Structure 1
């Protein structure tokens, strides 16, 4: 019988496939805010995005960073926009980005809840677009706790969001597993005293995630079996 009582998910790259969701969106967004193709290319380089191939590069700040960190990287090339204005634009545009579910989420989350597990989402995205994405997938009500980088608990890899989730659920950290696609997620789990499981539906590979994880799974479909054995 599992000792786990709750699962905390990252959002992008975990519940939703990162590349399918964000790469075409990022190219369109950069071209929209740029005044020329040259500037769009330069903006992409600032955040680790190859606009010609429509691919994020390994180590891109956009993979695990917050909208504020992305805005701070872009701001020097957009002097007519303040950092706060850029964050607002990023959040507004991101909220309407079509999300590609890794698998049909409603039945998957129902299965986990049927295992008497509480569920949370902690993301380095802002809370408003995160809630919009979960609502669009008809799963916002499946979660007991949802927090973004701007919810008042900090951002990963710091453990604040995870510990706030544990408090809200009234479950000790050692009975919670954090599931994510980046080292930010797994380091946050370690710092919070939680178990960490990596998934390969983001941009990080097995070799990158494994040193920080209790296990690395191909995607969240393998999670119920993993939980049952732990």
Structure 2
């Protein structure tokens, strides 16, 4: 693993526990639209494919059917406004994140962030969490035409930083991260403490499974 030069990270469920803010925003949206609030575990299972899918899943649950385009657009606007108001409040990092990022940087690794979260929310969240100085490249779910599990974002980062995919590794909590990395021709670490729709990340067959992100330091020695 000493040949790994670039470490690409997911955000939600990997570096930060964003579920409290996402849950709050979803419920603000649902209440504004006249629906009952959703339980936290339901929202946890809806997270992972970007804001459009999160909103669609919440609406489908509330309506009992797939929302119309108008219903989706109205709800997405409501969600964006709600999330904008809470996204950067009390951001919680998972144990070992600062230590891991600091030691990887000290070891000369290049770090990047590839999230399916809309980019407009990402800079403020990173700044609030104290993570804004760590990453050489940051992509949101709408930065390109494709998002994870498509490999395009991971390959875009490799190209932008002039590092071959075989010298990069992806770290995430979701099947999307595993599928994107494998399609991009890079190895992937799955962390067990994230969301992944309530499923065990090991079932997605990442190259390594870690219970704590600090395990990366041993892998990349």
Q: Structure 2-normalised TM-score? A: 0.83
Equivalent of residue 90 in structure 2, options 69, 76, 98: 98
CA deviation after TM superposition for structure 1 residue 27, in Å: 4.3
CA deviation after TM superposition for structure 1 residue 97, in Å: 4.2
CA deviation after TM superposition for structure 1 residue 96, in Å: 2.7
Which deviations, in whole Å up to 9, do the C-alpha atoms of 1:63-103 show, x marking residues without a partner? x1110222334283984962552453255245334321113
Which deviations, in whole Å up to 9, do the C-alpha atoms of 1:92-115 show, x marking residues without a partner? 245334321113544431210111
> Which structure 2 segments of 5+ residues have no match?
61-66
Matching residue of 1:159: 151
Matching residue of 1:69: 53
Structure 1 distance, partners of 2:178, 2:27, is: 33
Q: How many residues align?
A: 212
Equivalent of residue 110 in structure 2, options 118, 125, 128: 118
Matching residue of 2:63: none
Structure 2 distance, partners of 1:177, 1:195, is: 5
> Which structure 1 segments of 5+ residues have no match?
45-50
Runs of 4+ in 1 over 6 A off after TM superposition: none
Q: Secondary structure at the match of 2:4?
A: coil
Q: Structure 1-normalised TM-score? A: 0.80
Q: Is the 8 A contact 1:7 1:178 kept in 2?
A: yes
User: 3-12 or 129-138, which moves further after superposition?
Assistant: 129-138
In the alignment, is residue 217 of structure 1 matched against residue 210 of structure 2? yes
Q: Would the alpha carbon gap of residues 102 and 27 (structure 1) be closer, same or farther in structure 2, given more than 3 Å must change? A: closer
Structure 1 distance, partners of 2:205, 2:24, is: 34
- Aligned pairs (5 A) from 1:127-166: 127-166=119-158
Q: Would the alpha carbon gap of residues 152 and 94 (structure 1) be closer, same or farther in structure 2, given more than 3 Å must change? A: farther
Structure 1 distance, partners of 2:31, 2:16, is: 31
Equivalent of residue 39 in structure 1, options 30, 35, 39: 35
Q: Is the 8 A contact 1:8 1:121 kept in 2?
A: yes
Matching residue of 2:14: 14
Q: Is the 8 A contact 2:9 2:172 kept in 1?
A: yes
Q: Secondary structure at the match of 1:82?
A: helix
Q: Secondary structure at the match of 2:92?
A: coil
Q: Would the alpha carbon gap of residues 214 and 85 (structure 1) be closer, same or farther in structure 2, given more than 3 Å must change? A: same
Q: CA RMSD in A?
A: 2.9
Structure 2 distance, partners of 1:172, 1:219, is: 27
Structure 2 distance, partners of 1:30, 1:100, is: 18
CA deviation after TM superposition for structure 1 residue 30, in Å: 3.7
Structure 2 distance, partners of 1:36, 1:162, is: 36
